[in-house]
Amino acid sequence: MGRLWDKLAGTKRPDAGVTPLSAEEVRTVLFGLNGPDVPYRVRNASPDEKADVVAECRLPRVGVALRTRMRLVPEKREVRVVEERWENRSSDQANAQYGRGHAPAVYRQWETKQGPDGRKQRVEVFRFDTREMTDPLRDAVLGAGWVWRGVYKL
């Protein structure tokens, strides 16, 4: 059940031979992902988030908010990760949905436009894949020689 659970939770291990960095160096690598060209922000976690580092992404265009909470466990050289998402595609708060766990998704927005032949066609005007946030975080942790362990509660 261990390997199956790891697969379902999105757990990954670093390549053999990668020298593990210290916990402070892992934090530095994660904060180094911030920049003007990334759709998310990596920051220190607040005490009520029960984590060390948090990455957040808000997509108001499609009514989605993503949060990845990360707890560094230096003695095991692993980062325990909880991926969370809130979806509310209408103005009615009663329709808001919450999800937790490893569940890659692609959010799209379409418009109907007139094509060159004069016929109406659907055109994708917005696209966001949640892996655009989680893959760089995971790759940074693995590159630091640490395990990326998906969990459902920190």
Q: 52-56, 115-119, 135-139: lowest mean pLDDT where? A: 115-119
Q: Is 125 exposed, middle or buried (0-12, 13-18, 19+ CB in 10 A)?
A: exposed
Angle between helices 23-31 and 131-143 (to 10 degrees): 150
pLDDT tens digits, 69-116: 999 999 999 999 999 999 987 666 677 899 998 889 999 999 999 988
Q: What is the dihedral of CA 85, 90, 95, 98, to 10 degrees?
A: 0
Residue 91: per-residue pLDDT: 66
Residue 95: per-residue pLDDT: 76
Cα torsion 115, 121, 126, 130: sign: negative
Angle (nearest 5°) at CA 98 between 61 and 52: 95
Task: Mark 66-78 as b/e (b = at least 16 C-beta within 10 Å).
Answer: bbbbbbbeeeebb
